[in-house]
Structure 1
Amino acid sequence: MILFFGTRPGKTEIKKLPGVSCPHCDQKDTLTASISSNFFHVFWIKLFKISKHVIVECSYCKRAYYKEEFTEEMERVLESDL
């Protein structure tokens, strides 16, 4: 019997962060979060989530923020949406 298993990325979600200002350029309502997840699968059927990566980018100054660089305000808005 052949068993196909492994990991694959899921669809990337794009969410705006309303009311949050960019720490670099101080522009408000310009931050967008990209949320991507990796799943474990068997026979191409997703079974459970392995990891989740969140990157926030400012559309004004193009500065990207990783999880370690999030402000409390960013984390609060992201947690309320998820």
Structure 2
Amino acid sequence: MLFLIGTKDSNIKNGFVKNEICPKCNIENTLHFSIFRRYVYITFIPLFPVGKIVNIECTSCKNWFYYEDLSLEGQEKLRNEKLKNSIWMFSGTFVLLLFLAYCINNYFQNQNQIDILIKEPLVGDVYNLKFSNGYYSTFKIDKITSDSIYTTHNDFDTYMPYEIDDLDKAENYSNKKVSYSKNDLIKLYNSGEIIKIRHKD
């Protein structure tokens, strides 16, 4: 997925400053201003504002200039202008925070589920594994006795964790038979080698 990151300006207010001397033509008249809020976006979704730009036009000479070119009194007048609420510019941040909260909650729910499943293995369960060499694979439970688990390991492994579930195909389990005691299974989980357990319906 392609993400576009950048900044964009949004006009949040227009108005006039009266009785102000234009720094270009030195005539005292009414100046028209436009205030823009600059914000960061990701794929055109606003994340948060990062600054403000003020453009000012003299109604007499039609020249444009910036806030800093005004007199101190003119700058004070603009500072006192009430601006529109720009909370929508944080919408992407709110979405990201909600997504992060969902992921964290989902992670802990999965961990709680694994805590239960590791103590109650069933024939047909598939275990996702993370090896010390950085590769990932799976095994499935074929048989359970009072103190032992008999499994068949997957013939394939992957370097990408998101590809583990794709390895779980019947034809990928052949003759790699491995047995574990139930205590060994819990040790593998506690050491981080077992990272996911799926019940087979």
What TM-score bracket applies, with the shorter chain setting the length? 0.7 to 0.9
Is 1:25 the counterpart of 2:24? The answer is: no
TM-score, normalised with respect to structure 1: 0.73
In structure 2, the partner of 1:10 is: 10
**Which stretches in structure 2 are left out of the alignment for 5+ residues?**
83-201
In structure 2, C-alpha distance between the alignment counterparts of 1:12 and 1:56, rounded to whole Å: 14
Contact conserved, 2:15 with 2:34, CA < 8 A, in 1?
yes
Contact conserved, 2:55 with 2:67, CA < 8 A, in 1?
yes
Which structure has the higher relative contact order (CA within 8 Å, separation 6+)?
Answer: 1
Contact conserved, 2:68 with 2:75, CA < 8 A, in 1?
no
Contact conserved, 1:9 with 1:38, CA < 8 A, in 2?
yes
SS of the aligned residue for 1:61 comes to: coil
Is 1:44 the counterpart of 2:51? The answer is: no
Q: What's the CA shift for 1:12?
A: 5.6
Higher helix fraction (1 or 2): 2
Structure 2 CA distance for partners of 1:11 and 1:68, relative to 1, 3 Å: closer
Contact conserved, 2:41 with 2:47, CA < 8 A, in 1?
yes
Which of these two proteins has the greater Rg computed from alpha carbons? 2
Contact conserved, 2:11 with 2:34, CA < 8 A, in 1?
no
SS of the aligned residue for 2:47 comes to: strand
TM-score, normalised with respect to structure 2: 0.35
In structure 2, the partner of 1:54 is: 54
Count matched residues: 79
Structure 2 CA distance for partners of 1:68 and 1:5, relative to 1, 3 Å: same
- The residue type paired with residue 38 of structure 1 is R
- The residue type paired with residue 14 of structure 1 is N
**Which stretches in structure 1 are left out of the alignment for 5+ residues?**
none
Structure 2 CA distance for partners of 1:43 and 1:21, relative to 1, 3 Å: same
Contact conserved, 2:17 with 2:32, CA < 8 A, in 1?
yes
In structure 2, C-alpha distance between the alignment counterparts of 1:22 and 1:63, rounded to whole Å: 13
Q: State the superposition RMSD in angstroms.
A: 2.1
Identity %: 25
Structure 2 CA distance for partners of 1:21 and 1:2, relative to 1, 3 Å: closer
SS of the aligned residue for 1:21 comes to: strand
Structure 2 CA distance for partners of 1:56 and 1:48, relative to 1, 3 Å: same
